[in-house]
Amino acid sequence: MISRIFSFLFLFMFPLFLFAQGHTAVSAAAPRLIVGLVVENMHPDYIERYWDKFGEDGFRRLYSGGYICANHHVTNLVQRPAIGMATLYTGTTPSHHGIVNDSWIDRLRNKETDCIFDNSCSTIGSDSKLGARSAAKLMTPTLGDRLKLVTKGRSRIFSIAMNDYAAIFAAGHSADGAYWLDDISGNMISSSCYMDNYPLWALDFNKFKLADKYLANTWTTMKDQISYAESLESPSLPEAGFLGKYNNFPYDLNKLKKESGGTYAILKSTPFANTYLKDFALQLIPKEQLGYDFVPDLLTIVLSSMDKEGGNFGAFSVEMEDTYLRLDKEIAELLKYIETGYGTENVLFFLTSTSSASYPADYLKEKLKMNTGIFNPESSISLLKSFLNIKYGEGEWIEKFSNQQLYLNHELAAKKKISLHDMETETARFLNQFEGIAYAKAAFEIESDNFLGGPLAPFQNNFYIKRSGDVMIRYEEGWLPKDKYKAVDYTDNDQVPLVWYGAGIKRGTTLKKTDATDVVPTICALLGIVPPGSSTGNVIEEILPKTGLK
């Protein structure tokens, strides 16, 4: 009901075609608004699996009327959403943009560094400290930064997400606003690195306390649960569920909030997070006057797909299916609102993801007889520590192991006059013995060799000399890491969806392999501008108009 009221009001508040012509370096035929719909942790199989249950105006509208890149990948070694978002919006790999992980060891300062934390910034929109965030550690410009440069600051750049890293890396350095959920207050907040004062319209939005309203609901299936035949309920697919114990509908969301510490973080793992973001977008677009002139603006909406709970329910779960059926309706409402306001020919949409999802290793092994399994990082690192102690003497030789990157203790190695190259080599050799590890590579090997085009290419894509680990690993295909005492958010699948829709886009499909780095140069080609110099992707020429830039 809340969502329908917002949509009704905004459709009639929207001033149609209030476009004031202005001169920029952008092509005169460029769309007035670019809308990126980025769905986190989205396996491309979901579209085909749930197709018959989708409505006509959401996913079906995009896929039936747009251009589909059906063989699209994010070819980073470490498949983390933060890394993928930085790659998507810079058009290059971590080896250039520098976001190699959620955090890393800063060797100059000899301490662990978060990829977005910035204590020089403060929260805008609440009293919490969760707005001390910026893109300062992103080493290359984003699509939004490029638009700001070529339009002399006139393009308007905004991002909306549940998570801070998603909003930050989609926005880039020079955006007009990046908004995300404050887990403490339930408000949408931002950082002082983007604005001095919180906009009045956003303050008014927060007064609605929509997070409280959505978490006061009970999550039940949108359709009769018996009709969810595309999902699998099986003893071979055990689901930990919310908080490791709730895995059956209905879900009392208020109870889950209380049991998870009283914060609003649980909202991110429900389909109502997407409703919340859609409501915020319907406020932002007219209030910030996006697309009101001939200078192209950029809006990114990062939609959650079960967030971290995806690992607790899995790709075959009823919860995942219900999330996507509800997400289909949110996308349909966004498309209707924007297309009605601007006309399809004036807006360029793209839908993609920055990370995919994996199928359960046990299911693949037992049902499909595939060579998969579970890898225990805690046990392997414990054995590695023992090995290093025997070889080099007692000491804390490992500073950090996270998301396939291992950092050795440089200071201790120097103190004991041990060659770091030798230790990297021995560590990689030891890890390569484990079943489930396809490759363990020492940093000096990645730095000195050329792996382009082969199975080791993702190592170089993810390697940034000042931030990457001393040893990096890649698991065997189908193998999933699982620690005994903590959840591991991991996927071995790098394939994600990509579909283009709107201004100048013809219907079609390509099976040619495309990469996340290709999105920025392709958008720049459609706008008639040169992409950032640091971009390493290629233009997807198939989607360009016949008279477009090639």
**Residue 216 in domain:** yes
Q: Which two tokens stand for residue 426?
A: 């021995």
Collapsing DSSP states into helix, strand and coil, what is residue 52?
helix
Cβ–Cβ contacts within 10 Å for residue 529, how many?
A: 21
Supply the pLDDT for residue 305: 80
Helix (H) or strand (E) holding 377: helix 377-392
β-pair partners for 91: none
Please check whether residues 172 and 125 belong to one and the same domain: yes
Q: Lowest-confidence range among 273-282, 286-295, 455-464?
A: 455-464
Paired sense of beta strands 123-124 and 111-114, if any = unpaired
Residue 14: which pLDDT band, with cuts at 50, 70 and 90?
A: very low
Q: How many domains does the chain have?
A: 2
Does 223 share its domain with 329? yes
Q: Are strands 297-303 and 33-39 parallel, antiparallel or unpaired?
A: parallel
> C-alpha 30: how far from its chain's center?
26
Residue 546 pLDDT > 80: no
Residue 187 lies in a domain: yes
Chain centre to alpha carbon of residue 211: 22
Say if residue 329 is in the same domain as residue 426: no
120 and 90 in a common domain:
yes
Measuring CA to CA, which residue among 344, 370, 358 is closest to residue 311?
Answer: 358
Report the C-alpha gap between 340 and 134 in whole angstroms.
34
Same domain, 348 and 398: no
- Tell me: the pLDDT tens digits for 34-77? 999 999 999 999 999 999 999 999 999 999 999 999 999 999 99
- What is the C-alpha separation between 304 and 297, in angstroms, rounded? 23
Q: Say if residue 208 is in the same domain as residue 234.
A: yes
How many whole angstroms separate alpha carbon 237 and alpha carbon 231?
11
At residue 359 the predicted structure's pLDDT band, cuts being 50, 70 and 90, is: confident
Peptide bond into 250 cis (omega under 30): yes
Residues 266 and 390 in one domain: no
Sort strands 188-191 and 177-181 into parallel, antiparallel or unpaired: antiparallel
SS3 category, 387: helix
pTM passes above 0.85: yes
Helix, coil or strand: residue 431: helix
Secondary structure of 444-469 as H, E, C letters: HHHHHCCCCCCCCHHHHHCCCCCCCC
> Average of pLDDT values for 528-547?
91
- Confidence at residue 482, expressed as pLDDT on a 0 to 100 scale: 83
Check whether 525 has a pLDDT greater than 50. yes
pLDDT band at 395 (very low <50, low <70, confident <90, very high): very high
User: Is 368 contained in some domain?
Assistant: no
φ, ψ of residue 367 to 5 degrees: the values are -90, -35
User: Does residue 486 lie within any of the structural domains?
Assistant: no
Quick one: 527 and 432 in the same domain?
Answer: no
Look at residue 428 and tell me if it is in a domain: yes
CA-CA distance, 323 to 43, in Å (whole number)?
13
Each residue of 295-311: pLDDT tens digit?
999 999 999 887 766 66
Residue 488 falls inside a structural domain: no
| Of the residues 454, 481, 508, the one at which a domain ends | 481
For CA atoms 24, 25, 31, 33, the dihedral sign is: negative
For residue range 503-520, what is the model confidence (pLDDT) as tens digits? 989 999 999 999 999 999
Residue 481 — pLDDT band, cuts 50, 70, 90? confident
Q: What is the mean pLDDT of residues 274-284?
A: 98
pLDDT at res. 340: 96
Q: What is the pLDDT of residue 548?
A: 41
- What b/e readout covers 325-350, taking b as 16+ CB neighbours within 10 angstroms? bbbbbbbbbbbebbbebbebebbbbb
Range of the domain at 348: 2-357+493-543
Which class for 291: exposed (0-12), middle (13-18), buried (19 or more C-beta within 10 A)?
Answer: buried
- The CA R_g of the chain, rounded to the nearest whole Å, is 23
User: How long is the chain?
Assistant: 550
Same domain for 111 and 80, yes or no, is: yes
More confident residue, 372 or 282: 282
> Residues 349, 501: contact at Cβ < 8 Å?
yes
The domain that contains 242 carries what CATH number? 3.40.720.10
The whole-number pLDDT of residue 10 equals 44
CATH code: domain of residue 383 = 3.30.1360.150
pLDDT computed for residue 195 by the predictor? 96
Q: What is the pLDDT of residue 411?
A: 94
Residue 487 has pLDDT above 80, yes or no: no
Pairing of strands 297-303, 157-161: parallel
Give the Cα separation of 518 and 69 in Å (integer): 11
Q: Is residue 364 part of a domain?
A: no
φ, ψ dihedrals at 39, nearest 5°: -100, 120
Same domain, yes or no, for 335 and 459? no
Average pLDDT over residues 479-494: 79
DSSP string, 204-228: HHHHT-HHHHHHTSEE--SS-GGG-
Q: Which amino acid is at 518?
A: D
> Do 403 and 444 belong together in one domain?
yes
Across all residues in the chain, what is the average pLDDT? 90
Nearest residue to 215 (alpha-carbon basis) of 185, 245, 262, 257 = 257
Last residue of a domain, one of 457, 481, 505: 481
SS3 2: helix
pLDDT of residue 465: 93
In a domain, 362, yes or no: no
Q: Are residues 423 and 345 in the same domain?
A: no
Q: For a pLDDT cut of 70, what percent of the chain falls above it?
A: 92
Instruction: Name the band, by pLDDT with cuts 50, 70 and 90, for residue 478.
Output: confident
How much is the average pLDDT of 438-451? 89
Say whether pLDDT at 25 is over 70.
Answer: no
| Each residue's pLDDT tens digit, 215-263 | 999 999 999 999 998 887 665 566 788 988 899 999 999 999 999 999 9
**3-class secondary structure for 502-543?**
ECCCCCEEECCCEEHHHHHHHHHHHHCCCCCCCCCCCCCHHH
End-to-end CA distance of the chain: 47
Q: Which of 428, 456, 481 is the last residue of a domain?
A: 481
